[in-house]
Structure 1
Amino acid sequence: MMIPFLNSIQETYGHLPEYILGDAGYGSESNYMAVIDNFNRTPLITYGMFIKDKTKKYKSDIFNTQNWDYDEINNEFICPNNKRIGFKRYAYRHDKYGFKRDFKLYECDDCSEYPLKHQCMNFNSKTNKKIMKNYNWEYFKAQINKKFSEPKTSTVKERLIWILFLDL
């Protein structure tokens, strides 16, 4: 976790830099929340799929639920088989640090007749397609992508890359 480290820096130096930099290992919902809410700083921390989710292959994969249409009125996703994956319930999980992450669980009513089911789901799956969405996490990812595309913060990122490169 990044929070104890940032507390230590703040205690030692009396302040934190405007931008908190970190690699994907630190890209988590809890770290983004802490940097913004507790430290009032801007996180420039990538997340695990930061590079992959920008690739053509990822964006064009019809079985990737991130690419499925979403019907806001009915709160449903629409799969490649044109089936509706509707909202079922709220759920939560705790990560290994005890941070609670909130999800919305969506589930298809019947995937049994789908000829491409084995591509859409695990090969031996005996259940229907389920999607768990953490909209808070999605919000943070969108904010990080936006920050990294801004001229001011992209310059900070480029400097960091050069510093790391020169350190090798």
Structure 2
Amino acid sequence: MCEISKEFKEALGSAPEAKTKEEKAAQRGKNKMFKELERHGEKLAEYNSRLEQMEGRNSISKTDPSATFMRMKEDAMCNGQTKPGYNLQISSENQFITDFALFPNPTDTLTFIPFLGSFPGRYGRFPKRVVADSGYGSEENYRFMDEAGIEGFVKYNRFHLEHRPRYKPDTFHPDSLYYNEEGDYYICPMGQRMSRTGTLQTRTEGGYISQSACYRAIRCKGCPLRCLCYKAKANQRTIRVNHRLNSYKRKACELLTSEEGIKERGRRCIEPEAVFGQMKSNMAYRRFRHMGKDKVVMDFTFFAIAFNIKKLCSMMRKVDKKGRKASFYGKFVIIFICYMHKLEICQDKFEKMTA
């Protein structure tokens, strides 16, 4: 656009002087077009700079380029209005904040691996076990935990639905069909064989490639269960099954329904949710007071330190059954050192930014 604007300007400068009315009117029209072209060029340059700042995101805020427009839980107008913000992820142990991270994407699925990936650099190893809700249950995250040796009590999207007392599985759902693992084929409710036809690869937003096997029935025309089985116009039903994800789901279901899993699921409700409840309701910390990711990280780092100190003091005031005060100095020192390390990182970034 800049080159076109320069060529147009040179052409206007080298043009002979207008003498007649028609030539002057044409000259004014060309000048007007040149001004519009310059204005569009400036806008295009601004849009290109915004696209570079977005770094693959879908939106950007003018006041805080690091923030992304998201739907907040606090929606006073109840119209789904989006506001610039960050996706805050925390890990807690006994309601102490042990780590946190801020992400520009609103979905929790894409934050799981980067968040856990920071643990070896800070603590020297991955956590032995992770408890999370269904928002983090994906094939990519399950595979990461399996390869890292993490015992994951992570729910998948249909876990609560499948464990309801009145839940009845759909007879025609691919998960309910009989599968022959040796022959690699399915059997439909009418007893017809569904052979494998190929493999479909899909790429997630995080770049992970997922593979799904495709199976197709031989002939569905004239089947009395066709209207219940599927509603497509084709006479052959096709299903797609992700065998790797199904195996991860079965493993997760076994862990979640075990005695240890039930205990961890019960703790999940009172661990991070209690931290967020204290933060928003009792301490009125609902908005960040700075702009820019580095400053926001520094903002929440100070809050996390104050939160842990307050929690420690309240626990030290409690007296156990034997009349001795509970001691949590060791845990407090570890948490304080970790956050001081993060403060040093924030301070280095802030000094570079202000230099």
TM-score range, shorter chain: 0.7 to 0.9
> What does 1:66-85 align with in structure 2 at a 5 Å threshold?
66-85=175-194
Where 2:159 maps in the other structure, the secondary structure is: coil
Alpha-carbon contact 2:119-2:127 (below 8 Å) kept: no
Matched, 1:53 2:162: yes
Where 2:269 maps in the other structure, the secondary structure is: helix
Matched, 1:150 2:258: yes
Give the drift of 1:164. 5.6
Deviations 1:65-122 (A, max 9, x none): 2111223454321112222111112232212221111222110111121233222113
Alignment partners' CA distance in 1, 2:135 and 2:195: 32
What percentage of aligned pairs have identical amino acids? 22
Alpha-carbon contact 2:129-2:153 (below 8 Å) kept: yes
Q: 1:3 maps to which residue?
A: 113
Alpha-carbon contact 1:68-1:80 (below 8 Å) kept: yes
Alignment partners' CA distance in 1, 2:116 and 2:262: 22
Which structure's CA Rg is the greater one? 2
Alpha-carbon contact 1:52-1:58 (below 8 Å) kept: no
State the aligned residue count.
165
Q: Letter of the 1:21 partner, please give it.
A: V
Q: Letter of the 2:140 partner, please give it.
A: S
Alpha-carbon contact 1:62-1:80 (below 8 Å) kept: yes
Question: Structure 1 length normalisation: TM-score?
Answer: 0.84
Where 1:126 maps in the other structure, the secondary structure is: coil
Alignment partners' CA distance in 2, 1:157 and 1:66: 25
In structure 2, the CA distance between the partners of 1:166 and 1:146, relative to structure 1 (3 Å rule), is: same
Where 1:51 maps in the other structure, the secondary structure is: helix
Q: 2:199 maps to which residue?
A: 90
Where 2:118 maps in the other structure, the secondary structure is: helix
Judge which range, 7-16 or 85-94, deviates more. Answer: 7-16
Where 2:270 maps in the other structure, the secondary structure is: helix
Where 2:271 maps in the other structure, the secondary structure is: helix
Q: Letter of the 2:136 partner, please give it.
A: Y
> What does 1:1-168 align with in structure 2 at a 5 Å threshold?
1=110, 2-37=112-147, 39-55=148-164, 56-59=166-169, 61-122=170-231, 124-163=232-271, 166=274, 168=277
Alpha-carbon contact 1:103-1:135 (below 8 Å) kept: yes
Q: Letter of the 2:202 partner, please give it.
A: R
Alpha-carbon contact 1:58-1:64 (below 8 Å) kept: no
Alignment partners' CA distance in 2, 1:33 and 1:52: 23
Where 1:103 maps in the other structure, the secondary structure is: strand
Deviations 1:135-164 (A, max 9, x none): 111110011011112222321221122336
Which fold has the larger relative contact order, with Cα–Cα distance below 8 Å and residues 6 or more apart in sequence? 1
RMSD, matched Cα: 2.2
Alpha-carbon contact 1:94-1:100 (below 8 Å) kept: yes
Where 1:85 maps in the other structure, the secondary structure is: strand
Question: Structure 2 length normalisation: TM-score?
Answer: 0.43
